[in-house]
Amino acid sequence: MTFADAKQILNGSPTVATDYFKGTITDTLVGHFNAILFAKSDLIDIDRYVVGERLDGLFVMPAKEERKIQTNPAARVTDLLKEVFAKTGSS
């Protein structure tokens, strides 16, 4: 993660951090899936679909929690979250 990425996450949408990690991790995991010899077959399009849907599903709950933390000050329960949002001026 670059400094620019971190700055964008601090100033972005309610799910910007989850979206960042989803984009980064999904590409990596799909790359591993595509490296499997039999994954190159056209016969497993359903497998590619299922893998893609599962990867999307991995980020549903983190996005929900991030949205809550971004919009509700009471959800910032750790010292680190309180410190980060105090420095960014987000309420």
**Domain total in the chain:** 1
Share the mean pLDDT of the chain.
79
CB 19 within 8 A of CB 27: no
CB 25 within 8 A of CB 50: no
Helix/strand/coil for 77: coil
Cβ partners under 8 Å of residue 15, min gap 6: 63, 66, 67, 70
Mean pLDDT of 37-53: 66
Per-residue pLDDT at 53 exceeds 80: yes
Please say if the pLDDT value at position 88 is more than 80.
no
Are the beta carbons of 39 and 50 closer than 8 angstroms? no
Instruction: Specify the pLDDT at position 40.
Output: 56
Is residue 91 scored above 70 in pLDDT? no
Structure tokens at 71: 């919009």
Segments forming the whole domain that contains residue 8? 3-88
